[in-house]
Structures are given as C-alpha cells and as structure tokens.
Amino acid sequence: MSGIDEITLNFSPASLTLLNAILAVVMFSIAIDLKPEDFHRLRRAPKALIIGLFSQFIVLPVLTFLMVLAIQPRPSIALGLILVAACPGGNISNFITHRAGGNTALSVSMTAVATVGAILLTPVNIALWGGLYGPTRDILREIAIDPVQVALTVGLMLVLPLVLGVQLNMRHPALAARLHRPLQALSMAIFIAFIVLALAANWAFFLGYAGAVVGLVVLHNALALAGGWSVATLARLSPYDRRAVTFETGIQNSGLGLVLIFAFFGGLGGMAVVAALWGIWHAISGIVLAALMARSEAAR
C-alpha cells in the first residue's frame, strides 16, 4: 500500500475527452425528461429538496471527514473519499429510486439542482475538507487545484447538457420522448464499457491495490446511504420522499469524480481506485437496497 500515493493510472488525454463526452450525453439523456414545471412544483413544496441537498452537500462530507479522521487511510485514498463525497448525486440514482418505489420526480429534480449547485459546492467541499486534514492538505498544495477550473469543468460537462436537454423537451417534446430511453440506455452502456476498458488498461495496478480500498468504499457508501436515510427520517419526510433522499445521498457521480481526478490530480492512484470502486459498488448496493425496499412496500 505504501506506493499507492505515487502511482498514476494509464489514462490518455483522449480518454479523458471521451469520458467528458460520455458523461455529458448521460446528463443530456436525463435532462430531456425534465420540464421547468418539475422545478416549479418543488419550489411550492421545497422541504424534501432542501433536506436532500443538505444531506448530500453537508452531511455526507462531514461524515466522510469524520471517517477519514477515525481510520486515517493513505492520503490519496482519503482525498479520493473526500472528492467523491463532494460530487453531486449520480445519474443512476433516479433509476434506483424508481425501483425502490420512491419519489422519482424528487430524485430527478434533486439530481438536476445538485448538478447546478455542484459548480460552487463541489470545489468548495474539496478545498474545505481536504484542507482540514493534514495529509490531504499537502496533496492539495502540491496540485494547486484551481476551484474556478473545477467549476468550469462541472459546468460544461453537466450543467450545459442539463440546460440543452430541458430546452429540447420544452421545444420538441415528441422528439425528446422518442430519444429518452434509447439515448439513456446507449450512454450508460458506453459508460460501462469505458470503465471496463479503463480497468483493463490498469488491471495489474487495480488488482494490487483494490483489495485494500474496497472495505473503505463499502463503509463509505454505507455511511452515505445511512446518512441520507437518517436525515430524511429526522426531518419527518414521508417514506416516499425518504427513499429519494437516501439514494441521492448514497449514489454519487463517481464518473465526474474520475474526470476531476485525471484533469486536476494527474490520475493519482489512490483517488482513482476509490472513484472507480465507488462507481461499481454504489450501483450494486443501491440496486440491492432498492429491491429490499420495494419488497417491504409490497408486503404491506
């Protein structure tokens, strides 16, 4: 494990550009199912949305920081956990919320609002929590990360496709309806294939270090899901809304995390392994938890 902080993954600039494009298409495929009314509806009853964003951008980073203080993993691994916690909710959270019998409209709107908010909150959370922990603060000093550049990356990759998708749905709803499912399926399939190929190109490194990180990722994801559920429960949200908040907190946009890691941290080994494992594990844990929730709901 001692060398993980010095290792960088095999990832070309062309691969990074491709990943940017794939994530933009994934965001666009979600956005074409959104309308301005979705946001207006939440503005009239904003409690669940506010609780969800609080859970995602405040509670999860705090829980992550406390976990890092308690366990004190290698610096690059610690910064990877902090960075993933600073990202907005992942795109598959909408699908998983639907499978769990939760409020899908709330989930989709939370993803959209969190994506816009991530322009400011993602770089702020990385700088704040990474700067409070000595070993990760040293990495941030060496990298000299520019929060403005992070914000521009998030904006161009996620917010621009979001705006374009909503505009298409407003102006050409029939076309948006025809494109939604095939485009979402295609973009997710390409994204999965990309991750598989990236892992194959770094397989020896991944085998050497993933085993030491997997327990931390599982614990971190469990904290995220439990944190979302606890915050929603304490806020007395309905079970319908509680499920959306749970998955929006526990399903993170690890694809964005990988882009930031390769764009600003040079593919730093521990960070990249954390984000890659998150991308695999949160899908597994989310689908399993959603099935259990759906089964308990059906049994009532």
pLDDT in tens, 229-249: 999 999 999 998 999 999 999
Write down how long the chain is: 300
Residue 252's DSSP bridge partners are: 89
- What is the structure's pLDDT at 5? 54
Residue 237: half-sphere exposure toward Cβ, Cα within 13 Å: 27
- What is the structure's pLDDT at 249? 94
- What is the structure's pLDDT at 144? 64
Domain ranges of the chain: 13-293
- What is the structure's pLDDT at 58? 96
pLDDT in tens, 268-285: 778 888 888 888 788 889
Whole-angstrom distance, CA of residue 75 vs CA of residue 20: 26
Contacts with 265 (C-beta within 8 Å, 6 or more apart), sequence order:
79, 139, 143, 145, 271
Residue 116: count of CB within 10 angstroms of its CB? 16
Distance, CA of 108 to chain centre: 13
Range with top average pLDDT, 18-22, 282-286, 296-300? 282-286
pLDDT in tens, 126-180: 999 999 998 899 888 877 666 777 777 777 777 788 888 888 888 888 888 888 7
pLDDT at 30 over 50: yes
pLDDT in tens, 58-79: 999 999 999 999 999 989 899 9
Class of domain 13-293: mainly alpha
Q: Which residue has the higher pLDDT, 124 or 190?
A: 124
Contacts with 264 (C-beta within 8 Å, 6 or more apart), sequence order:
143, 145, 146, 149, 150
Query: Alpha-carbon dihedral of residues 271, 276, 277, 280, nearest 10 degrees?
Result: 160
Q: What is the pTM of this model?
A: 0.81
Range with top average pLDDT, 73-82, 248-257, 258-267? 73-82
Tokens describing residue 165: 């998708």
Which residue in this structure is represented by tokens 């965001």? Answer: 27
User: By percentage, how much of the chain surpasses pLDDT 70?
Assistant: 82
Judge whether 262 and 150 are in contact, CB under 8 Å: no
